[in-house]
Structure 1
Amino acid sequence: MSNWEVHAIKYADRNARVRGDSFIFDDNHDAPHAMDYFMWLLRRGDEVILVDTGYDDAEAASRDRPIRLDPRAALEPLGIAPLDIGQVIVTHLHYDHAGGLHLFPNATLHMQAAEMAYATGPCMCHDTLRMPYTAGHVCEAVRRLYSGQVVFHDGDAEIAEGVTVHRIGGHSRGLQAVRVRTSAGWLVLASDAAHYYENLFARKPFPIVVDLQDMLEGFDTLLHLASGPELIVPGHDPLVHAYFARGAADHILRLDPGPIAEVRR
């Protein structure tokens, strides 16, 4: 079978952050440290899979975290309409990854069973663990379940030929990464298993974490899954723009040919 196209679609950023927001162990916690927000599109011929959905203007207003593009508008340069999306891989149910589920009503959701259990279970009694979730997004996933539009996975699973998911955990109980066969080799969309290259390569954990051991061991899993470390794409790192070529628009990067610059480790 042929390889997949992989597009990284930036829909938001947040620059009023510091390194202490990104790394548990760091000597310069007060230094600025920007964050980009992505979703990803996989395409092979007529096959289309969306990885995560971003969040919409209502969620942006609620959290005072503005978005640059509505997720639907962000997909337009790729010729994709919301109703065209038949499958969404939900890496986890945090607001910035699942806040647009309702925008893609035809989609079947691929999730780890552990993520649904986590987002609807006793851990959500704790304000700190509940903070990245929004009840309406979780309820949308439950509604989709009751309409027969959720496929649960327990660990490793094949979504389509050349596309697999792998439960990492750490950041949330059911966080999963996505492995895609491309012309450059096996590329891994880390999502929040590695927010930044530095989380992965310097082994500096991200502060939002439910299981630190799972997060640290997840870094090894990412390296094992990818054909090379340069083909691991973090979930929020602005450096992705420096390493990969511009795609169909300024906010879109083309990942599947591999990086255009050396990825520094």
Structure 2
Amino acid sequence: MSEWEVFALRYADRNARVRADSFLFDDDHSAPHPMDYFMWLLRQGKRAILVDTGYDEVEATRRDRPILMDPRAALEPFGLMPDAIDTVIVTHLHYDHAGGLHLFPNATLHMQAAEMAYATGPCMCHDTLRMPFTGDHVCEAVKRLYRGRVVFADGDAQIADGVTVHRIGGHSRGLQAVRVRTQAGWLCLASDAAHFYENFEAGKPFPIVADVSEMLDGFATIQRLASSPGLVIPGHDPLVRVRFPAEAGLPETWRLSSGPQS
């Protein structure tokens, strides 16, 4: 049975946030609540799978949300060149997860059909729903489709031995989580099915949401996908950097596949 190494790569942070930005219902909306931005790398021998791509300096300037490092630089310590990445799992097409698709030109994208339909359909007529997307990123996904470099899932699908994807929805119509077999057990990269541990541990919806019911149901799903609650990895929580060990010698990198620190 194949086991994978899994790493969280932090490429940006955003500290000027409050709890109102993270939870629909909360008793202290004005309290500070910082956010980290991650992409994830799966490795098995010479094989590498990238989960999401972050965003680049152009998008950082456009949204006034600076990055700590270019997504390509996050892979350099692993000896991985952007052109060599052949598989990217796109959890959803929001700017902070798909803003670097163009940086990995040879990759085949694995995404949910529902996400492409959502990002290119009538829901994008609404400013509120369109806000987390950037047209250039969605167009890159469409161009990749016309090059034969998109593989769609409709619910659950296997990407490789020990790597599966599962449609969650909620935050975005086609948001998917990634389940990975590791030495610590089945690990669930929740991405934005839960931005923070508190979202799923306390049942608190994140304010950017396409379907609240799907989001709440998703909190249970991501926990079922993991072998234990500690192996559910939220998409943006700084606590990931506390609960999991930093990878020695690699900047802004945390090893998830060995399990949380005791």
Same fold (TM over 0.5): yes
Alpha-carbon distance in structure 2 between the residues aligned to 1:162 and 1:141: 25
Distance in 1 (CA, whole Å) between partners of 2:66 and 2:18 is: 18
Alignment partners' CA distance in 2, 1:28 and 1:92:
29
Residue ranges of structure 1 left out of the alignment (5+ in a row): none
Partner of 2:79: 79
Match of 2:229 in 1: 229
Counterpart code for 2:192: D
Separation (CA, whole Å) in 1 of partners of 2:256 and 2:36: 16
Equivalents in 1 of 2:46, 2:18: separation in Å? 42
Q: Could you give the per-residue CA deviations for residues 84-142 of structure 1, whole angstroms, max 9, x where no partner exists?
A: 10000000000000000000000000000000000000000000000000000000000
Across the two proteins, how many residue pairs are aligned to each other? 261
Could you tell me how far apart the structure 2 residues matched to 1:140 and 1:207 are? 27
Shift of 1:46: 1.5
Indicate the larger mover: 115-124 or 74-83. Answer: 74-83
How far off is 1:2 after superposition? Answer: 3.0
* Residue 254 (structure 2) aligns with: 253
Q: Report the Cα distance in structure 2 between the residues aligned to 1:83 and 1:7, rounded to whole angstroms.
A: 20
How high is the TM-score relative to the length of structure 1? 0.98
AA paired with 1:138?
Answer: V
Structure 2 contact 2–161 (Cα < 8 Å) conserved: no
Distance in 1, matches of 2:155 and 2:47, equals: 24
Matching residue's letter, 1:151: V
Q: Which residue of 1 aligns with 2:56?
A: 56
Could you give the per-residue CA deviations for residues 132-184 of structure 1, whole angstroms, max 9, x where no partner exists? 00000000000000000000000000000000000000000000000000000
1:209 aligned partner: 209
* Counterpart amino acid of residue 189 in structure 1: L
- The percentage of aligned residue pairs carrying the same residue is 73
- Paired with 1:237 and 1:70, the residues of 2 have a C-alpha distance of 20
Give runs of ≥4 in structure 1 deviating > 4 Å.
none
The 2-side partners of 1:246 and 1:186 are apart by 20
Q: Distance in 2 between matches of 1:201 and 1:150?
A: 34
Q: 1:21 — aligned with what?
A: 21
CA distance in 2, matches of 1:36, 1:91: 17
Distance 2:10 2:250 in 1: 10
- For residue 214 of structure 2, give the secondary structure of its aligned residue in structure 1: helix
Aligned mates of 2:39, 2:153 — CA distance in 1: 20
Give, as a single letter, the amino acid of the residue that structure 1 aligns with 2:258.
Answer: P
Give the letter aligned to residue 182 of structure 2. Answer: T
Instruction: Give secondary structure in 2 for the equivalent of 1:187.
Output: strand
The one-letter code sitting in structure 2 at the alignment partner of 1:94 is: H
CA RMSD of aligned residues (A): 0.6
Q: What aligned pairs does 1:47-196 form with structure 2 within 5 A after superposition? A: 47-196=47-196
- C-alpha deviations, 1:183-218, integer Å up to 9, x for none? 000000000000000001000000000100000000
Q: Secondary structure at the match of 1:245?
A: coil
Letter in 2 for 1:193: A
TM-aligned CA deviation for residue 249 of structure 1 = 1.5
